[in-house]
Amino acid sequence: MTGRRNRRKDSSRFNVWRSYSDMMAGLLMLFVLIMCVTLFQAQKNYVEKLAEQEEKMILQNEYTSELLEKQSELAAQESQLKTQDELLAEQQKRLEAQNLTMEELQATLAEQAALLEEKTETLSQQQTTLEQQQAALNAKTEELKDKQAQIDKIVGVKAEVIEALRQEFKSNDMNVTIDSQTGALVLDSNIMFAYDDVELSEEGREVLSKVLPIYCKVLLDDKYLPNVAEIIIDGYTDTDGSYEYNLVLSQQRSLAVAQYLLEIKEGFLDGNDTEVLKEKLTVNGHSMSHPVLDENGNVDKDASRRVEVKFRLKDEEMINELHDLME
pLDDT, average across residues 64-80: 80
pLDDT of residue 236: 96
Which pLDDT value is given to residue 123? 84
DSSP for 164-220 reads HHHHHHHHTT----B-TTT--EEEEHHHHB-TT--SBPHHHHHHHHHHHHHHHHHHT
Residue 239, phi then psi, degrees to nearest 5: -95, 10
Q: Which residues contact 325 (CB under 8 A, 6 or more apart)?
A: 144
Q: How far is CA 180 from CA 36, 201, 274, 319, 323, in A?
A: 150, 28, 27, 17, 19
- Expressed in percent and rounded to 5, the helix, strand and coil fractions of the chain are 75, 10, 15
Q: For residue 117, how many other CB atoms are within 10 A of its CB?
A: 10
CA angle 322, 323, 325 (to 5 degrees): 60
For the stretch 217-274, pLDDT in tens is 999 999 999 999 999 999 999 999 999 999 999 999 999 999 999 999 888 888 788 9
Range in 45-59, 117-131, 168-182, 295-309 the model is least confident about: 45-59
Alpha-carbon distances, residue 256 vs 28, 181, 192, 311 (angstroms): 182, 26, 10, 18
**pLDDT band at residue 38 using 50, 70 and 90 as cut-offs:** confident
Burial group, residue 314, by CB count within 10 angstroms (0-12, 13-18, 19+): middle
Specify the pLDDT at position 154.
65
Instruction: Look at residue 40 in the predicted model and tell me its pLDDT.
Output: 79
What proportion of the chain, given as a percentage, has pLDDT over 70?
88
Contact 215, 228 (CB under 8 A): no
Alpha carbons 121 and 79: distance in angstroms, whole number:
60
pLDDT at res. 168: 94
In this prediction, residues 287-292 reach a mean pLDDT of: 94
Q: What is the mean pLDDT of residues 283-301?
A: 94
pLDDT classification of 140: cutoffs 50, 70, 90:
confident
Q: Quick check: 186 pLDDT over 90?
A: yes
For residues 236 and 323, is the Cβ–Cβ distance under 8 A?
Answer: no
Count CB-CB contacts under 10 A for residue 183. 23
Say if residue 152's pLDDT is above 70. no
CA-to-CA dists, residue 86 to 75, 79, 81, 100, 117, angstroms: 16, 10, 8, 21, 45
**How many Å apart are CA 284 and CA 226, to the nearest integer?**
23
Q: How does residue 53 score in pLDDT terms, banded at 50, 70 and 90?
A: confident
pLDDT range class, residue 112, cuts 50, 70, 90:
confident
What is the model's pLDDT at position 37? Answer: 78
- Residue 234: Cβ-neighbour burial (10 angstroms; 0-12, 13-18, 19+): buried
User: Quick check: 1 pLDDT over 60?
Assistant: no
Reported as a pLDDT band with limits 50, 70 and 90, residue 116 is confident
Question: Is 60 exceeded by the pLDDT of residue 289?
Answer: yes
